[in-house]
Structure 1
């Protein structure tokens, strides 16, 4: 049985068909990227897995149980950050930690909050409110909050899109450390255990998708978008960014993805506009 099963899922918004017959089986500990043109339903699919909206048809199962609403086993980072504007950066993360880790002491929950704010480079800005920080810092706060609740699955909607190149690559590496449970903090290792996180990542960055993922699901164009092709990423882990860029397998995957996005689905989009 798949850890996450998406079977025959369709989603309508009134007369508009956003998704049609989406099928995807994801193994525990797998990283799967969703890529595609704007309007291909990537964020809608992520919202369905998050339980924020319900499918019009089909079902989504997490560990064999239907997804019928949001839950702490799914950590979500959306493009709009969803931070509470009256709380500080620290409080935005801490309130999530307090709600999920109720069995821990106050000191332990404070330690978790600090750890992940340090991971995303925001500890020095912990007392600022969302209105006092940049969009990239808001995005990092949302990422720290999602990681700190220790979810079974991370749902990330372009989590690095608003970041500068240096911060983006650094946080990609930190995300892989958390995913691989290679945390240096023995206290966090005791809480997190050794199981790899399952991650679904929406991105428009092909290099990012290849670097982070085990498989890449390419969405067809909307309306009635679906998963047109799933591309395996045959690169060994742990990954070194410089070595990856020189690996023939990386170049083959990149070429296939570019072909799908610029030829196969670009043609579909052109035809839909002229129909």
Structure 2
């Protein structure tokens, strides 16, 4: 038995209660891929809050607390400005709101690239203060020694290759990667390096489809595509993009709903009810009890 958190949907408050350990594990995710084949694709979505985590958890194998929260939650223009404190606060909330999924937290820009020791200090703090199972970091061959350093010290790592948003200033934008033969060879080498270093899974973002397919066939760890290939061992999307919260989304996003329109309609209905004084109504008021 272990103490986990149950979210009271009537109050939005999390209550610690003893429950059997039911979470998927890092080894279970890694074991999905056997002899180069993943019979059951890995389902991953981003989550940034306890309530969203609770809603997504029954349907996902992994929940990613992505540094995309900088843009989605805080309205920043780039993930480069995301802080470690942001990641820890939202990561802890997602852990509290979930019980099944493996929770993975992005290490923000500037907190792990300096040295393996810096990465260990950051990653160990993240796992200790959030209760998450793993961290994700962006980079290929140059980060392979860091990944190996972390894995050897008991910190599970998800690698991230291809289009790496934290390097947007160096890449010159968010366009698809691997168009040239030279760049495709580099990304393939990156994939081999991070897999050999011990990453238990690998996000492949924004690369040409044949390249993502080839990498998936070559590396032993599961690949999780985002703008990559249906042949990847799993898929991930930013949940707000998938739900239709934004008007403009990358080409690789499929909108599975139009939540933004529904929120707009609900807000308009609320505003109308306030203005015509139909809200609050009798059922929403506290009246003194009649004296007997």
Q: TM-score, normalised by structure 2?
A: 0.30
Bigger relative contact order, structure 1 or 2, given CA contacts below 8 A and separation 6+? 1
Which structure's CA Rg is the greater one?
A: 2
Q: TM-score, normalised by structure 1?
A: 0.31
